[in-house]
């Protein structure tokens, strides 16, 4: 009787051992996140290179599930990449990360459309690629005199009775744009998208605190007579009153100054008794 009980216990123990060995093992690791490139941005864009200066250009890439990222830059014409894709620096993070790489461009690099090449590698070795673009523009500093003009010059009323006063009004303007250069009221600076490209001056802005001389030429005479000098207001406008005794032409003249060309405007007024 005791022998049968012992045999049964041994068999039960062996069965439990077999069950223990046969039990499946379950892994704790979660499935890997597929690699993807969420966004690519370039700063600055456009890249404006003035003369001999050097400009740092940074591409920033946002990825999900990437273990490594390479970023390259290159013009759309000429070499395929400059430089070719190189390792990018990653920010802290787990699945979502930001990567960036910076290059320096100068006057030797071509203007026009440039491409950014991006390669991202996931934990499983899968590679995804994408491209983005930005623009490079070269600006030659313009050191010549800036054009000016006198806008809206008017001597009124017309006709005017002899001895009555005329009102002389107008506004002195300076060319605001030349290529990418624009006038901010004190100096010319690079304006990026503020100005359109073009071979001529365009887009005018007022200029204050400049002297404007007034001259008069009697009808049927050739001599110009100096009358007065006035100063433009901060907004470029000017105004004065002068008595009229003869029919003739009134002229206002800005003689120019350092960095600014001269300009003038005229208006004929008839004097009646």
| Tokens found for residue 64 | 């999900």
Give the model's pLDDT for residue 193. 45
What's the half-sphere exposure (Cβ side, CA atoms, 13 Å) at 150? Answer: 25
pLDDT of residue 26: 46
pLDDT of residue 52: 81
Residues 109/111/187/232 CA torsion (nearest 10 deg): 160
Tell me the residue ranges of DSSP E strands in 7-126.
36-43, 47-50, 55-64, 66-75, 86-87, 89-90, 96-105, 112-122
Per-residue pLDDT for 8 more than 90? no
User: Taking 50 as the threshold, does the pLDDT of residue 196 lie above it?
Assistant: no
68 SS3 class: strand
What is the distance of C-alpha 23 from the center of its chain?
67
The predicted model gives 48-68 an average pLDDT of: 90
189, 197 contact by CB (below 8 A): no
SS3 222: coil
Instruction: Tell me the range of 47-56, 66-75, 88-97, 213-222 where mean pLDDT is highest.
Output: 213-222
Position 93 confidence tier, pLDDT thresholds 50, 70, 90: low
Q: What is the pLDDT of residue 227?
A: 97
Polymer length of the chain = 273
Query: What per-residue confidence (pLDDT) applies to 269?
Result: 97
pLDDT digits (tens, 9 = 90+) for 221-253: 999 999 999 999 999 999 999 999 999 999 999
Among 22-26, 79-83, 168-172, the minimum mean pLDDT is found in 22-26
Residues 6+ apart with CB under 8 A from 109: 49, 75, 82, 136
Higher per-residue pLDDT: 111 or 140 = 111
Confidence of residue 48 (pLDDT cuts 50, 70, 90): confident
- The string of pLDDT tens digits covering residues 98-108 is 999 999 999 89
Q: Is the pLDDT of residue 260 over 70?
A: yes
């Amino acid at each position: 009787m005791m022998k049968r009980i012992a045999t049964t216990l041994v068999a039960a123990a062996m069965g439990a051992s077999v069950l223990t060995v046969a039990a499946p093992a379950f892994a704790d690791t979660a499935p890997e996140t597929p690699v993807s490139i969420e966004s690519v941005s370039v700063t600055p864009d456009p890249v404006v290179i003035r003369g001999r200066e050097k400009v740092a250009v940074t591409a920033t890439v946002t990825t999900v599930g990437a273990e490594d990222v390479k970023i390259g830059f290159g013009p759309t014409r000429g070499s395929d990449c400059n430089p070719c894709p190189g390792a990018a620096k990653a920010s802290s993070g787990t699945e979502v990360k930001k990567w960036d790489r910076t290059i320096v461009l100068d006057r030797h690099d071509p203007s026009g459309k440039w491409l950014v090449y991006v390669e991202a590698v996931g934990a499983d070795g899968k590679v995804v690629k994408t491209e983005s673009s930005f623009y490079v523009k070269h600006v030659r500093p313009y050191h010549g005199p800036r054009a000016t003009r006198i806008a809206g010059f008017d001597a009124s009323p017309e006709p005017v009775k002899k001895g009555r006063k005329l009102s002389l009004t107008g506004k002195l303007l300076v060319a605001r744009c030349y290529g990418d250069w624009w006038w901010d009221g004190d100096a010319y600076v690079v304006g990026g998208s503020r100005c359109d490209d073009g071979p001529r001056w365009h887009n005018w802005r007022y200029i204050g605190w400049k002297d404007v001389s007034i001259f008069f030429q009697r009808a049927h005479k050739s001599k110009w007579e100096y009358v007065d000098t006035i100063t433009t207001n901060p907004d470029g406008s000017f105004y004065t009153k002068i008595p009229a005794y003869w029919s003739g032409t009134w002229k206002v003249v800005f003689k120019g100054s350092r960095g600014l060309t001269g300009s003038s405007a005229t208006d004929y007024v008839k004097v009646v008794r």
